Structure 1
Amino acid sequence: MYQLITTPTAEEQVAALPSAALQPLVELFALLETAPWSGQPFSLANPRGNMPTHAFGEQGFATYVVLDEQREVYLIRVAWL
């Protein structure tokens, strides 16, 4: 199990999400706590990097950093298109 930590920037972005994004985001949070490597590489130039991105809902994307040794996931950016 990983601890999910939300950065202040991501907290602001989450607060601005429409209500339709909230349930899919909650589901993504649960996934990130158990399987953070389920996302796609943020940078195709560094596919083994520790910064994946993950889609949620029909229009959402979250970018985060995985620290395996600390068992932490830092949510750094959330976007709803």
Structure 2
Amino acid sequence: MPQPLKAVYQNGTFVLKTDCHLPEGAEVELWVNSPRLIPPKISNPSERTLFLRSLVEQMQQNPIPSNAPKFNRESLHERRC
């Protein structure tokens, strides 16, 4: 039976705001309920397919150089702040 839980996303982890009585290793499915989610601007499936193909082609034409700096989770987090 579904059990609603409230959590806050902090530092890459979901921190529960409500008590949770699940067994260790239980698998859960998260549904994000946030006003900050932005719906896709392209809702027509065929337009979306064309856009994604174009995006992939552009990415393939401009690959990341092999000598580009490597980022890890911490360095990316620091860049957002």
Q: Larger Rg: 1 or 2?
A: 2
Shorter chain as denominator, the TM-score bin is: under 0.3
Task: With a CA cutoff of 8 Å and minimum separation of 6, indicate the structure with the bigger relative contact order.
Answer: 1
- TM norm structure 2: 0.24
- Which structure's residues are more often strand, by fraction? 1
